[in-house]
Amino acid sequence: MERRVVVRGRLRGRRIELAEAVDQPDGEVVVVVRPVERLDSVGVEDVFTFLRSLPPGTRSKDDIDRQIAEERDSWVDR
């Protein structure tokens, strides 16, 4: 069975600095280098732009509150 260990690190030129030690038996390994996807690269502003582009909903606040109340009333006391 193939064992994998994922360790973050930093690539500086041709040198890889690992953020933590790797506790595995010695031997040959394959190293795959890929950039870390940063949260701010997801495009938070793009998400808000997308949400603003959606058509407005057709349900009223009272309708949603009524549905939530019905759902809560169906729960068995715990």
Domain of 18 in residue numbering reads as 1-37
- Distance, CA of 33 to CA of 8 (rounded, Å): 10
Decide if 72 is inside a domain. Answer: no
Decide if 48 is inside a domain. Answer: no
The count of domains in the chain is 1
Decide if 65 is inside a domain. Answer: no
Decide if 74 is inside a domain. Answer: no
Decide if 68 is inside a domain. Answer: no
Would the pTM count as exceeding 0.85? no
- For 11-70, write each residue's pLDDT tens digit: 999 999 999 888 877 888 888 888 887 655 556 667 788 888 888 889 999 999 999 999
Decide if 19 is inside a domain. Answer: yes
Decide if 50 is inside a domain. Answer: no
